[in-house]
Amino acid sequence: MQDKTLTFSLGGNSESEMKNTLILVYDALREKGYNPINQIVGYILSEDPTYITTHHNARSLIRKIDRDELLRTLLKSYLDD
């Protein structure tokens, strides 16, 4: 029996779109007095949109990003030289 490894491929948001959206969400969270990193991590881990403020439409913006694609991009960015 062959042991095949499945591959996982994502499409969707471009990296620059995701970055711009994250910057807008980060700024909105900071303006409202939240710790933006903690709030965004909470959202990514739980997919609970209430971690993100509605200020400046941040909640709607972040929900347009595919979480799997975001995680892939963040991991790639972190691990690439």
Give the residue-averaged pLDDT of 36-50: 96
Residue 4: per-residue pLDDT = 73
Positive or negative torsion for Cα 45, 47, 48, 49? positive
Judged against a pLDDT cut of 60, whether residue 38 lies above it is answered with yes
Q: Which of 28, 22, 51, 55 is nearest to 39 (CA)?
A: 51
> How large a percentage of the chain has pLDDT more than 90?
77
Residue 1: per-residue pLDDT = 58
- Rounded to 5 degrees, φ, ψ at 14 are -75, 160
pLDDT digits (tens, 9 = 90+) for 53-78: 999 999 999 999 999 999 999 999 99
